[in-house]
Amino acid sequence: MAPATCRQVVGSLILLTGRRRLASEPILSPFTIKTEMGKDIESFIGSIDQGTTSSRFLIFNKNGEVAASHQLEFTQIYPQPGWHEHDPKEIVTSVERCIDGAVSSFEHQGYNVESIKAVGITNQRETTVVWDKETGEPLYNAIVWTDTRTQSLIRRLKRRLGHGEVHERCGLPLSTYPSVGKLLWLLENVPKVKDAYEKGVLAFGTIDTWLVYMLNGGPKKNVFVTDPSNASRTMFMNIRTRQYDETLIDFFRLDEGKLHLPKIISSSDPTGYGSLASTVLKGVPITGCLGDQSAALVGQKGFTPGKAKNTYGTGCFLLYNVGEKPVISRHGLLTTVAFDFGGQAMYALEGSIAVAGSSVKFLKDNFEFISSSDEVNKLAETVEDNGGCVFVTAFSGLFAPYWMDDARGTIFGITTYTKRGHIARATLEATCFQTKAILDAMSKDSGHALTELAVDGGMCNSDLTMQTQADLISIPVIRPAMRETTAFGAAIAAGLAVGFWEGIEELQNVNTMANLNTCCFEELANCLYPIIRRYLVYCNCQGS
């Protein structure tokens, strides 16, 4: 057995909790300490959760429990209708402040910062950042995954010879959703971006790449990497080889010699992501990286084929583990890398819904029905049903399985008897109906029907929404005891890289589940759903 390092025992003087080691106590493994009562206590893994509306940092113990956390919202920029941007520098600053805030809380509980062994990152996917590779300066705001400014550009690409092969190679259909359209728009419309491209200094990345690059110190260290779960959302990566595909890059008429793409490495890597160059965790290694939806699948312990999860966040994302070989959907779904922990990658079918939790925010900000998002459930429960009201929340078009970029949000069935409660209930039901459409498509693609659905995200805290979901899909909905599954997934990726957990088997009894069983309301499942599908067709016609 190799001798313990200085960092592992902290000079053999101070335990990782901050208490001095007694002379009679043995030196322990780097991930175990003992209290005065002799009880084993794990060290900790940090997790950066960089989302669409906020950044967070959470600190997990070996049992998947959150010891401390800190969250900050950041600016949402809407320059024009359909446009959605973030300030790349503000994102980095928000993450750094969250790290410092969570660690401060952690230390106030009596823990020592030395007990945080590694950090993982999970991030909003597809959101695109471009910067000057020599200076590290962003050349434009980050274009967010919900942004629809590329509609006309995507229509042009769909008319281009060879577009059918693109889906087969990368697993994604042409739409406003993936990163490539955002990059092409920047090259066409932002002179600074075009100039950097022509000079060969244009760096492209999704949020994971940008964060890793900046948290390592920017151009000084030049840690320029991504993981397969994020790279698979760009349309540049071959879904089978998990490497950049020359045919795909040629289709988009890009020159690899002028565009810098990040190196694709494992989602769990002890050295490839570098280490933090700032904050109170300076020097702590970054050892895991996953796109947010892949992280949620990992956090729900969806390691084996047939496991599925649905995350109800700003949008809604259902991932179904299909195993070691990618399945190209014929029913409107995406094929993506679930995770790659250094051996054989696991793949997933994905159904993406652009608007879920953000529809509740719409009721708050635009209609002023509620003063906080938490109030929507109480408002929805003031009525027995939706009163015939149906809300198609197509604020960013419709994603899977319809892929209607031009669809418009529409409320149907309003009468003189319609109340705010009916619209609130219809808003919650909208996500449930779209989830059923995705599950139906998954059953067709995989040849198997799901027997249960694991859920997470903010909306899963609503008993009404989750019971409606269970009734509509006629299978049990399973909620974990600890709901921070996305951040936990990133912690798992980081922890596996440094031996914090020995393997996925060790995680099976961590974060147990609770079921919501279906009540089988046949009216909801069999009568309303066909009506919803007709309304969706109407919304697409109105947007065209």
pLDDT tens, residue by residue, 352-410? 888 888 888 899 999 989 888 888 989 999 999 898 898 988 888 888 888 887 788 88
> What single-letter DSSP state applies at residue 395?
B
pLDDT at 374: 85
Instruction: List the single range of 133-137, 336-340, 370-374, 486-490 with lowest mean pLDDT.
Output: 370-374
d(CA 483, CA 457): 7
Q: Residue range 152-163: average pLDDT?
A: 90
Is the pLDDT at 140 greater than 60, yes or no? yes
What is the SS3 assignment for 33?
strand
What is the SS3 assignment for 361?
helix
What's the pLDDT band for 31 if we cut at 50, 70, 90? very low
> What single-letter DSSP state applies at residue 505?
G
pLDDT at 475: 86
Is the pLDDT at 17 greater than 60, yes or no? no
Instruction: List the single range of 35-39, 290-294, 478-482 with lowest mean pLDDT.
Output: 35-39
Residues 6+ apart with CB under 8 A from 21: 9, 12, 13, 14, 15, 27
d(CA 262, CA 129): 12
pLDDT at 540: 54
pLDDT at 526: 54
The residue ranking higher by pLDDT, 38 or 386, is 386
pLDDT at 536: 58
Q: Which residue has the tokens 């840690």?
A: 223
The residue ranking higher by pLDDT, 530 or 400, is 400
d(CA 207, CA 314): 17
Is the pLDDT at 186 greater than 50, yes or no? yes
Instruction: List the single range of 51-60, 251-260, 423-432, 466-475 with lowest mean pLDDT.
Output: 466-475
In this structure, the number of other CB atoms found within 10 A of the CB of residue 303 comes to 19
Residue 183 identity: L
pLDDT at 28: 38
Q: Residue range 435-445: average pLDDT?
A: 90
Q: Residue range 501-521: average pLDDT?
A: 70
Instruction: List the single range of 89-93, 212-216, 415-419 with lowest mean pLDDT.
Output: 415-419
pLDDT at 373: 84
Q: Residue range 309-317: average pLDDT?
A: 89
Is the pLDDT at 124 greater than 90, yes or no? yes
Q: Residue range 82-93: average pLDDT?
A: 97
What's the pLDDT band for 348 if we cut at 50, 70, 90? very high
Contact status, residue 45 vs residue 116, Cβ threshold 8 Å = yes
Is the pLDDT at 37 greater than 80, yes or no? no
In this structure, the number of other CB atoms found within 10 A of the CB of residue 38 comes to 7
270-311 pLDDT tens trace: 999 999 999 999 999 999 999 999 999 999 998 989 889 999
d(CA 441, CA 308): 14
- Give the gyration radius of the chain's Cα atoms: 23
C-beta pairs of 439-442 under 8 Å, 24+ apart in sequence: 439/318, 439/351, 439/473, 440/401, 441/329, 441/331, 441/332, 441/333, 441/351, 441/400, 441/401, 442/308, 442/318, 442/320, 442/331, 442/333, 442/349, 442/351
Phi, psi at 36, each rounded to 5°:
-60, -25
What stretches of 140-190 show up as alpha helix (H) in DSSP?
151-158, 163-170, 179-189
Is the torsion defined by CA of 519, 521, 524, 525 positive or negative?
positive
Q: Residue range 106-118: average pLDDT?
A: 94
Pairing of strands 316-323, 346-353: antiparallel
d(CA 472, CA 523): 9
d(CA 88, CA 363): 28
HSE of 60 in the Cβ direction (CA atoms, 13 Å)?
A: 32
pLDDT at 5: 37
Is the pLDDT at 528 greater than 60, yes or no? no
Instruction: List the single range of 16-30, 215-229, 403-417, 422-436 with lowest mean pLDDT.
Output: 16-30
Give, to the nearest 10 degrees, the angle between helix 420-446 and helix 529-543: 100
pLDDT at 398: 84
Nearest CA among 122, 105, 104, 111 for reference residue 41? 111
> What single-letter DSSP state applies at residue 304?
S
Is the pLDDT at 120 greater than 90, yes or no? yes
HSE of 61 in the Cβ direction (CA atoms, 13 Å)?
A: 14
Q: Residue range 206-212: average pLDDT?
A: 98
The residue ranking higher by pLDDT, 415 or 37, is 415
Does pTM surpass 0.85?
no
Phi, psi at 322, each rounded to 5°:
-105, 0
d(CA 24, CA 17): 17
Contact status, residue 412 vs residue 535, Cβ threshold 8 Å = yes
What's the pLDDT band for 533 if we cut at 50, 70, 90? low
Supply the mean pLDDT for the chain: 86
C-alpha dist (Å) from residue 10 to 1, 63, 201, 204, 275: 19, 23, 43, 40, 19
124, 125, 130, 135: CA torsion to nearest 10: 60
Give rounded-to-5 percent helix, strand, coil for the chain.
35, 20, 45
The end-to-end CA distance of the chain, in Å, is 67
Tokens standing for 349?
């079918």
